A and B are shown apart, each in its own frame.
Chain A
């Protein structure tokens, strides 16, 4: 048995710290782009870019990309909160896009400079957290669902009931430890919207989770896939990409998005306010939305691409994989998290503290 169950880094896992990766070998710029220096600072998730994407961009545009890594949206937000330390393109997710727009931390996009927007699936041309896509372009998307061990479950556990409201798998299940997503999923299970803000509903969700606690092994700080792989739990609430990684190692594992619906999340490409190279940033975003480039990225990171042209270039094992692309009806039951203002965030967090200390 290995000491560290899963040697690879998942993009949402913090292990490597924030190392800077300088990409591309410097050669003289082939084209003289306007007045802007041929540089770009990219602030991205770990293992969240294609193998040669940055070199290819350098070859195509002459722009050197320096990539820094962040571990979660909170870190991204905290780092840019006191002013942009020099990043151009950043990769925030749904409700954080909204938070950053409200806090004037993002620069409006010039859609004329992003012709490859035409490659996007029409469903992604608008977003609840960024109406009209004024500030963000979709990069990758995915779902939260249940990762489970096939031999230890009775059929497909396609309801949140098994994790939230049942003692069938007592002591063998884990939930995420992310306040907003977990509460949102409980709201959905209770028949409300993902973004419920009524204090009564929040209270009811709190009571449900406190009642369920004796059956839950732990609230996993983003290592549910390892717990599943090592047999610590048989069912876990997790991000689809993380479960996909361990499914490659163990045929007895699978993933399902429960029928009540779930969180569908989206990571986006945006330009931070005060970016030193906004023109290069637009070029880079346009480049990433290209068909070949998008396919190259999707091949490596195995999340769903919103890029129809890129998806068309991918093999069936990817584009027909239900763990990557859930069925249309499942997807119709899913929602995206939106930012609800600090009062509701506080209600959520107080409820969470009570759940954790109950």
Chain B
């Protein structure tokens, strides 16, 4: 039942191109692009992939969302809007709002933690940088399910955090009551931040690493405080990275399914959990499809906001 992590089509959007980390030889790439044959040969496999494994299945789900159930297994496509009307019921909008809230909090926390981390890596000595970047991506070597289970072992009543606190309290001679860290919304946010942090750190690093450090020096020389230099020089230069990072964290977090299922309490249900139930237990694929597309439209909305922001800050958008 945990295999449903790909349930929300929105996820497919979640990892577009990797951040451009100082690509050398841009001229050679440009020359290649001019040759039509090279372009077509190199564009064909990804296009087929995109069509066969993304657009076509998505189209099927889209069509399904206009269907009506006929008996137990048959769905008739009647182009009804009833599924969407039902999806806009306050009940489901409430779940969507909750999902937006949880992924919003996750994104803000990732940004607050990710920015200092990225800055730290940027200003680290050269030989340390690859090692630090390697440490950022190291968790990806372990399966998400395993990492989430490991978090359960860390957070539960008789988990490592409570053991450590108990040890500390015993040493100081204080009374100790284990903290309820698991099975609540905070646990879901902790899990989401833990999983998505690298997606914030990497684009931020890419943006900040290109920054001309002389600019900061100049600001400090001209009498700006450290804080002022950070706010007026570093942050604006990091904006492209911030936007990419926010998108890369917010969208997958919005469609997350496994983490609320495993770490959440009695009120941690997110929209993907409702969608999963429609496809399985409730056996109502058309409604599940409509809910999936509701999530898709939200994703499109987020991407649209991004492009508007990118236009507004056109000069800063690294190209």
Chain A interface residues (CB < 8 Å from chain B): 1, 3-4, 14, 17, 71-72, 74-75, 77-78, 81, 99, 102-103, 105, 171, 178-180, 213, 216-219, 221-222, 230-232, 342, 345-346, 349-350, 352-354, 356-358
Contact = CB atoms under 8 A, between A and B. Distances in A.
A354 B91 contact: yes
11 contacts: A3-B149, A3-B153, A71-B1, A74-B1, A74-B280, A102-B72, A217-B183, A221-B1, A232-B157, A232-B158, A353-B269
Nearest to B278: A349
Contact of A346 (B73, B266, B284): B284
Interface in B1-60: 1-3
Given A171-B180, A218-B266, A358-B267, A345 B283 contact: yes
B69 A74 contact: no
- In the A-B complex, the 5 residue pairs with the smallest Cβ-Cβ separation, listed nearest first, are A74-B280, A356-B269, A349-B282, A103-B72, A218-B183
A349 B287 CA distance: 12
Interface size class on chain B is: 35 or more
A213 B267 CA distance: 9
Given A3-B149, A232-B182, A357 B1 contact: no
B264 interface: yes
B95 A14 contact: no
Interface in B39-94: 69, 71-73, 91-92, 94
B186 interface: no
Given A3-B150, A217-B183, A78 B280 contact: yes
A190 B180 CA distance: 31
A222 to B, nearest CB: 8
A14 B2 contact: yes
Contact of B69 (A17, A179, A342, A352): A342
- Which of B3, B73, B95, B262 has the largest count of A CB atoms less than 10 A from its CB? B73
Nearest to A71: B1
Contacts of B69: 342
A222 B2 CA distance: 11
Contacts of B277: 179, 349, 352-353
Contacts of B98: 357
B261 interface: yes
A17 B95 CA distance: 29
A218 B72 contact: no
A72 B282 contact: no
Interface string B259-281: 00110111101000110011111
Contacts of A99: 72
Contact of A353 (B73, B95, B149): B95
B91 A81 contact: no
Contact of B281 (A74, A213, A216): A74
A267 B214 CA distance: 72
B267 to A, nearest CB: 7
A353 B92 contact: yes
B1 A72 contact: yes
Contacts of B264: 218
Given A232-B182, A353-B91, A357-B98, A221 B262 contact: yes
A269 to B, nearest CB: 21
Contact of B73 (A103, A179, A358): A103
Interface in B169-213: 180, 182-183
A103 B71 CA distance: 8
A74 B273 CA distance: 15
Given A345-B282, A346-B284, A230 B266 contact: no
A1 B158 contact: yes
B101 to A, nearest CB: 12
A356 B283 contact: no
A184 to B, nearest CB: 13
Nearest to A213: B266
Contacts of A77: 283
Given A71-B1, A81-B73, A357 B280 contact: no
Contacts of B180: 171
Given A179-B281, A230-B156, A357 B262 contact: no
Contacts of B262: 221
- Which of B72, B94, B279 has the largest count of A CB atoms less than 10 A from its CB? B72
Contacts of B283: 74, 77, 342, 345
Nearest to B183: A218
B266 A356 contact: yes
A100 B19 CA distance: 49
A352 B276 CA distance: 13
Nearest to B98: A357
Nearest to A177: B261
